[in-house]
Amino acid sequence: MKSVVRNYYDDSLSNRIAFITGASRGIGRACAISLAAAGHRVILAARNLDKLQDTAETIRATGGQADPLEIDMTSPDSIKAAFAKAKEIGRIDILVNNAAITKDGLAMRMKAEDWNTVIQTNLTGAFLTIQHVLPGMMKERWGRVVNISSVVAEAGNAGQSNYVASKAGLIGLTKAIAQEMASRGVTANAVAPGFIDTDMTAVLPPEVKEKILQSIPLKRFGTAEDVAAAVRFLCSEEASYITGHVLDVNGGMYM
């Protein structure tokens, strides 16, 4: 008897176009590679075109389609220009908002510039990218928006009031978009990674890493590929009845 069970990552709706911000390294790069492996054409967006070219070459080497585009998430004009170029490639069906920065410091000493830059990049930039893709998704009556939040958005973290606020804002934004777009067949979800072994966390002192490790029930740090697997699922047809959800990928460090 022929099996009718489908692989969760065998997406029948391949050949769609996915736009990934912050795709030059870490989680964004892993998401781009994973979505390309699912059969999607990926548009890679970040400030560093050289690193984007490296990601694009990695994808093309395995037969995938990848188009690198420069984008500055603090600049509405840059975002607008990037999406104008992206729409020459085709309609954006999938948006993964991953681009993020940190400028850590205690709240009472934090400079207004450090607050504003993090909020602009991590939250306002994500909102603007969503605005650019929604008209096409609504017309098609199909779309996936996945925002990369963080475990600190749910648990808080001292010394990161700007980053925490931006990532918590992404969760609220996700839920609002999910409510607004559900009737048009567009889903919006968030993924909240825990401690993931990336360039951003590599700079932490060993004693800090060890303390964090002790708080993770699975007793290991996550990988960018762990997060990419969650994103890939939420972008698939199998996740068509999931919207407004926050998927934790944190090894159990926050439940």
Query: CA 191 → CA 77, 147, 243, distances in Å?
Result: 27, 6, 12
Q: Which of 8, 9, 163, 241 is an active site residue?
A: 163
DSSP string of the chain?
----PPPTT--SS-S-EEEEETTTSHHHHHHHHHHHHTT-EEEEEES-HHHHHHHHHHHHHTT--EEEEE--TT-HHHHHHHHHHHHHH----EEEE-------B-GGG--HHHHHHHHIIIIIHHHHHHHHHHHHHHHHT-EEEEEE--THHHH--TTBHHHHHHHHHHHHHHHHHHHHHGGGTEEEEEEEE-SB-SHHHHTS-HHHHHHHHHT-TT-S-B-HHHHHHHHHHHTSGGGTT--S-EEEESTTS--
Answer yes or no: 163 catalytic: yes
Q: Which residues are catalytic?
A: 163
